[in-house]
Amino acid sequence: MRRILVVLLLAAPVYAQNSLPSWNDTAPKKAIVAFVEKVTKEGSPDFVPVPERIATFDNDGTLWCEQPIYFQFAFAIDRVKALAPQHPEWKKQQPFAAVLSGDKEALLASGQKGLMQIMAVSHSGMSTEEFARIVGQWFATAQHARFNRPYMDLVYQPMLDLLAYLRANGFKTFIVSGGGVEFMRVFTDKTYGIPPEQIVGSSAVTKYQFTPNGKPELLREAKVLFIDDGPGKAEGINTFIGRRPIMAFGNSDGDQQMLEWTTAGNGARFALIVHHDDAEREWAYDRKSHIGRLDKAWDEAIAKGWTVVSMKEDWKTIFPATAQ
Amino acid sequence: MRRILVVLLLAAPVYAQNSLPSWNDTAPKKAIVAFVEKVTKEGSPDFVPVPERIATFDNDGTLWCEQPIYFQFAFAIDRVKALAPQHPEWKKQQPFAAVLSGDKEALLASGQKGLMQIMAVSHSGMSTEEFARIVGQWFATAQHARFNRPYMDLVYQPMLDLLAYLRANGFKTFIVSGGGVEFMRVFTDKTYGIPPEQIVGSSAVTKYQFTPNGKPELLREAKVLFIDDGPGKAEGINTFIGRRPIMAFGNSDGDQQMLEWTTAGNGARFALIVHHDDAEREWAYDRKSHIGRLDKAWDEAIAKGWTVVSMKEDWKTIFPATAQ
């Protein structure tokens, strides 16, 4: 009996000061801990019951890297290359020719239309199960060129600490990302400990149909159902989660409305922005970046007193030391 | 110390044969219990880990009544009546004139277009918060004409037993309904113990905007985002939940694809249909009903051996004895 009790006690979450080991003891860590302590303390005027402890995280640039291109777009590029032998016509057809020859200027020149064509051939026309298999295979084999590591290793250790810390304090953690929900679900449970039903993202229309052997499947169509970015993040939180978060974490202008929506709720609220200012260990970019631009949201963070993390000053480490 | 241990042991779920007290000891109850026991028994070839124990429930006709009209449509009708003083022109304008005079034939004659107009004035043009307030007020005051009880009392006690039994066995319970997700979320947590983030339903497009005093709000537009019915239920499960259920519960042809999708997965799966055959205690309707028609899904249930519940034979009670 005593042994059972010891096991039970050990299993209980015990979080001391050092619960965010990859964070320096600077202002952002202190602000996070102070907020969590006040909303979890019974009897505190800021106490929030467990079911309402909702925390939402952007993914690209907040939980993992997004440079030099969004990882999902790197997947799309690799997928075009993998499919090219079946499409000899692509050698002379933009935007595919640009992808195959590595011509970045021609690729950029193909614009939004070109992007949509690349996304269409890499993300639609197959069943949801087949898509998950293709993405899983890519994650198992592709490597990021700068770090020579699998993409799933390029997650931020301090944010992994934070996810664990919040969950140990009764929070339910969600991803609310502009990335494709079915792309993310392939790795988010294993990597972040966030289950598929807590991933909100952009989505394609799917079509229920039967395979020749009579099995139902969902065909991914080249048609957008929902874009979970900018104002879409507030809308997505409402439609998919149905509760307003009490904490929200982002890194770019695409997260501005999620942070506004979160902090506009009654009671204690917390908003945090990760500022990429560490060119040595990761990247440095903000107001003028094409990817993950942080401009208007930064101004609003300063005006409203949201917490801004300097990756350089506030994070002891960036990536997990060993493979996930 | 011993006291803590006793508390912990008492808190553990202990479910005996009588865990579904409102169910008769007939085949459906036996089938449910046998399934749950085999998927929760460690070492069993059918064992399913806790995170994959997903159970999805239709709402109208499965968890609560849907006669003589869907309760959400009763809300819409009442809402038109409440708004009528501000719209004197409605007295001469269909479908509103038909609603106000109670002319069912004229209402039916207004068809899909009329229905959409009624839904638009009752469900859009206000913020999501204002809509929730209006719906909450309706639930607090409106009564079902046949039973003289609030609509929230007309939930099925055997299904409340079942939800509790499944959750005690590690299942995560979801609603997957054609009803409006924001309409349902007003009562589903309190009534069924299912939190907002586990409600999948039909949804309207919302628009992120600011009130005159600078507060962000989401405006409900008269535009459909997603219809969660028929094939849409399989699509909705995939998009919103991202896992295939291992148990699914419905009552009509609108649930057929959800049950097909559920049972087409690998491993042990369970599908159940509630058959409304109790005109005395509730209603009797199936193949020819305009609401909750059970025809094709019934044939498939018989062909595939899905469990079919006779409300008359298999349920001891229909509604909770006292108010929720």
Which ipTM score applies to this complex?
0.92
Q: Per-residue pLDDT for B46 more than 50?
A: yes
Q: Per-residue pLDDT for B1 more than 90?
A: no
pLDDT on residue A12: 44
Rounded Cα–Cα distance for residues B186 and A64 (Å): 36
pLDDT on residue A10: 45
Residue the block writes with tokens 């003891």: A25
From the number of C-beta atoms within 10 Å of its C-beta (0-12, 13-18, 19+), residue B214 rates as: exposed
Q: Per-residue pLDDT for B8 more than 60?
A: no
Whether residue B128 and residue A234 make contact (CB cut-off 8 A), yes or no, is: no
Whether residue B242 and residue A181 make contact (CB cut-off 8 A), yes or no, is: yes
Q: How far is A242 from chain B (nearest CA, A)?
A: 5
Q: How far is B216 from chain A (nearest CA, A)?
A: 6
Average pLDDT, chain B: 94
Chain A residue with CA closest to B194: the answer is A51
Q: Per-residue pLDDT for B3 more than 80?
A: no
Whether residue A234 and residue B208 make contact (CB cut-off 8 A), yes or no, is: yes
Whether residue B182 and residue A240 make contact (CB cut-off 8 A), yes or no, is: no
Under a CB-based contact definition with an 8 Å cutoff, are residues A161 and A55 in contact? no
Average pLDDT estimate for B236-241 = 98
The model's pLDDT over A104-124, given as tens digits with 9 standing for 90+, comes to 899 989 999 999 999 999 999
Q: Per-residue pLDDT for B38 more than 80?
A: yes
Q: How far is A197 from chain B (nearest CA, A)?
A: 4
**Which residue in A148, A68, A144, A51 sits closest to A104, CA to CA?**
A68
From the number of C-beta atoms within 10 Å of its C-beta (0-12, 13-18, 19+), residue A305 rates as: exposed
pLDDT on residue B50: 98
Strands B270-275 and B247-250: parallel
Chain A residue with CA closest to B186: the answer is A242
Among A198, A206, A241, whose Cβ lies nearest the Cβ of B239? A206
For residue B316, what is the DSSP state?
S
Whether residue B241 lies within 8 A of chain A, CB to CB, comes out as yes
Average pLDDT, chain A: 94
Average pLDDT estimate for A269-276 = 98
Whether residue B231 and residue A243 make contact (CB cut-off 8 A), yes or no, is: no
Range name among A320-324, B249-253, B294-298 with the lowest pLDDT average: A320-324
The sign one gets for the Cα dihedral A48, A49, A50, A56 is: negative
The model's pLDDT over B60-69, given as tens digits with 9 standing for 90+, comes to 999 999 999 9
Buried b (16+ CB within 10 A) or exposed e, B232-255: bbbbbbbbbbbbbbbbbbbbbbbb
Whether residue A68 lies within 8 A of chain B, CB to CB, comes out as no
The model's pLDDT over B189-217, given as tens digits with 9 standing for 90+, comes to 999 999 999 999 999 999 999 999 999 99
